[in-house]
Amino acid sequence: MIKLNINGKQYQVDVEPDTPLLWVIREQVGLTGTKYGCGVGQCGACTVLFNGAALRSCSVPVSAAQGIKIETIESLEKNGQLSKVQKAWVDNQVPQCGYCQSGLVMATTALLRTTPKPSDKQIDEAVTNICRCGTFQQVRAAVHAVSK
């Protein structure tokens, strides 16, 4: 049994220790906001927070997540209120197809916790997710809107 702390709740899952964390989050825990894109740690669609740092959950075995505070996109909305990042995403109409956006929101959430007013360069260095619709300009605009 592997014990996990996801969004402040405790879970026990019976899976092979080398199962990617992404699949446990989606299939055992049932939180499907975290997406599968490439499966090899490149696109960032699967980004979650791992003790506050953005992490590509497709590339981490679930055994490495024991004792770690994991946050997924589902943790951001509180009492029916979107987080500041989520609101900025809506206001700046960031998503196009939308598929990769939860990963982008999580990577941005991690960045803004440590760097409240990031420059474009800091955004580009920290948020390395790939968006095939090319929403990078809107992402930067939304990050700056939050950090105003």
Neighbours of 30 (CB within 10 A): 9
Among 31, 37, 71, 104, which residue interacts with ligand FES (rule: CB under 6 A)? 37
Is residue 14 within 8 Å of residue 20, measured between CB atoms? no
- For position 60 contacting ligand FES by CB under 6 A, the verdict is no
- For position 36 contacting ligand FES by CB under 6 A, the verdict is yes
Nearer to ligand FES, 92 or 129 (CB): 129
- For position 43 contacting ligand FES by CB under 6 A, the verdict is yes
Query: Strand order in 69-71's β-sheet?
Result: 9-13, 2-6, 69-71, 47-50, 53-56
Q: Residues in the site for ligand FES, rule: CB under 6 A?
A: 36-39, 41-46, 56, 58
